[in-house]
Chains A and B, each alone.
Chain A
Amino acid sequence: QKEVEQNSGPLSVPEGAIASLNCTYSDRGSQSFFWYRQYSGKSPELIMFIYSNGDKEDGRFTAQLNKASQYVSLLIRDSQPSDSATYLCAVEERNRDDKIIFGKGTRLHILP
């Protein structure tokens, strides 16, 4: 059973600080990794994807991937109240027609 694990939170971070969201996955052969943001009552929105080991930066967001440790993270710098949402980690399952497996999500709360 391939799994994507996230801490459900809530993770509370002061405004302006760095929020760090973590995710582990079980399928060592996974190649593509995604972070989605979901506001309450809304559908998920793709923030970033990463498929190479290391860091990938886009604005205030940095995704980090370590395939050896089967670990992917998302850093949000200068956290804003509008960043308060549930963040879903997703992993593309190998050999399954691009099926993506989602973690249960981490609720992030930015404290004003």
Chain B
Amino acid sequence: GAVVSQHPSWVICKSGTSVKIECRSLDFQATTMFWYRQFPKQSLMLMATSNEGSKATYEQGVEKDKFLINHASLTLSTLTVTSAHPEDSSFYICSAEKGLAGGFVSEQYFGPGTRLTVT
């Protein structure tokens, strides 16, 4: 199997506060994890690529000082939304990459997502 969990599944916070979201691969080790954001009725938008033991790679337009990513182990990556504002309200989804035998193809398995509402 390939199970990825996220915590919390939903969170409501006040404007100006920070929120941490955890992403865990439960039954495999993931050197690489990805963080996505999805607004209602829109497609997934990759925010950043998280590599264990190194700095995350952020996509253009994503503020690295606002969206802090830490990939401390092969099974855990965290995304911290700092000084959250209402426009940060979204569905945040992580995925973890699992390599297949032979190393030619790797699959991404998604966590269940975290719905963030900033009031």
Indicate which residue in B32, B43, B44, B111 contacts A97 across the interface (CB closer than 8 Å). B32
Is B107 at the interface (CB under 8 A from chain A)?
yes
B97 interfacial by beta-carbon distance below 8 Å: yes
Query: Quick one: given A43-B110, A44-B110, A49-B107, are A98 and B97 in contact (CB under 8 Å)?
Result: yes
Q: How far is the CB of A109 from chain B (nearest CB, A)?
A: 15
**Chain B at the A interface: mostly helix, strand, loop or mixed?**
strand
Q: Assess the A43–B93 pair: CB atoms within 8 A.
A: yes
**Least Cβ distance of B22 to chain A in Å?**
15
How big is chain B's contact interface, by range?
Answer: 20 to 34
Q: Which residue of B lies closest to A8 (CB)?
A: B43
Q: Contact partner of A103 among B43, B93, B104, B107, CB < 8 A? A: B43
Number of interface residues of A (CB under 8 A): 23
Q: Using Cβ atoms and an 8 Å threshold, which residues of chain A touch B32?
A: 97-98
Q: How would residues 54 to 98 of chain A score, 1 for a CB under 8 Å from any chain B CB and 0 otherwise? A: 000000000000000000000000000000000010101000011
Give A contacts to B, CB under 8 Å: 31-32, 34, 36, 41-46, 49, 51, 88, 90, 92, 97-100, 102-105
B residues within 8 Å of A by Cβ? 32, 34, 42-44, 46, 49, 51, 57, 91, 93, 97, 104-113
